[in-house]
Amino acid sequence: MTKSAKLLPFCLCFGVALGAQDSKPTSRPAAPQDPAALLRTLEENGVHVDPKAHTVTIECEMGRPVDALEYVLIHRKGKTHEALVVTDVVPSLLNAGLLAIGLERGNNARVEEIEPAPTLEEVQAGAEWMRVYPAEGKSMWMTLTWEDDGEKHVDVPVEALLLDLTTGETLRDNRWVFLGGNMAPLLRGEDPVFMADYQGNIVSSCYMYPNNHLVTVVHERANSDDNWWLVQDLCPPPGTKMKMTFHRDKPDSVVARESALAKDAERKAAEPAQDEPPQDR
């Protein structure tokens, strides 16, 4: 029996199921009596859970995106051309770890068409034809760590590596919300499976539907799938080995970044306005 198959009862008791790695169960196994056994088995599968720090850490590597970023993290079978970071960890196992540290499922973003619908001429003139409602739920945080040139240890919030193409600045004023994935049958009449195990999508940097992924961003421009790119001066070379940590509580690196951004905003606001050039008479 594979490690994935051994973990299946534990994952089901946390509301998830493994995907293509194993045959689907015919009945729901009994919930495990020993939570420590869950943590040990997750550890064996690359999901390190720290119950005291309320963190989950997995190994990953810097991606090779060629298009705008739709995802921060994917499984290697996912959309590698649109993702910042890639992992070999099975999404349902990661989901079990996130539930184990007490993350609560939120609600994915949703879209409503505006009624009565605007005319084509009104849309071409800039009128909105749909209304986007952001994802809802408690905030969580993610950080990435790696070694720079084998010496310097780098620890940054993931948003510090995302470039907002609208502002030309790093992603800010955002939140991350845990969605917990989605169970659905691949074909009509089949048993439901954990969809992220098949699609490979884990953390999205824009609003994606349906909520088969585990985590989504919340941001005023998250309804666009072509607004994000990587900060090339800060990101390590493609293929660099990294670790991603998911935090239930705000980590120090996020606090430090938010403080630095606030001070920078105060400094810019205090700068005297530049004199306007003289007008031609």
Q: Could you read off the pLDDT tens digit of each residue along the chain, which spans 281 residues? A: 444 434 444 444 444 444 334 334 333 344 455 788 889 999 999 999 999 999 999 999 999 999 999 999 999 988 899 999 999 999 999 999 999 999 999 999 988 877 788 788 877 887 776 688 899 999 999 999 999 877 788 999 999 999 999 999 999 999 999 999 999 998 898 999 999 999 999 999 999 999 999 999 999 999 989 999 999 999 999 999 999 999 999 999 999 999 999 999 899 888 876 655 555 54
Task: Judge if pTM exceeds 0.85.
Answer: no
Tell whether the torsion through CA atoms of 92, 132, 160 and 240 is positive or negative: positive
The structure tokens listed for 17 are 């199921």
Residue ranges in the chain assigned as alpha helix (H): 3-13, 35-44, 91-100, 120-124, 196-199, 252-270
Contact 11/96 with Cβ under 8 angstroms? Answer: yes
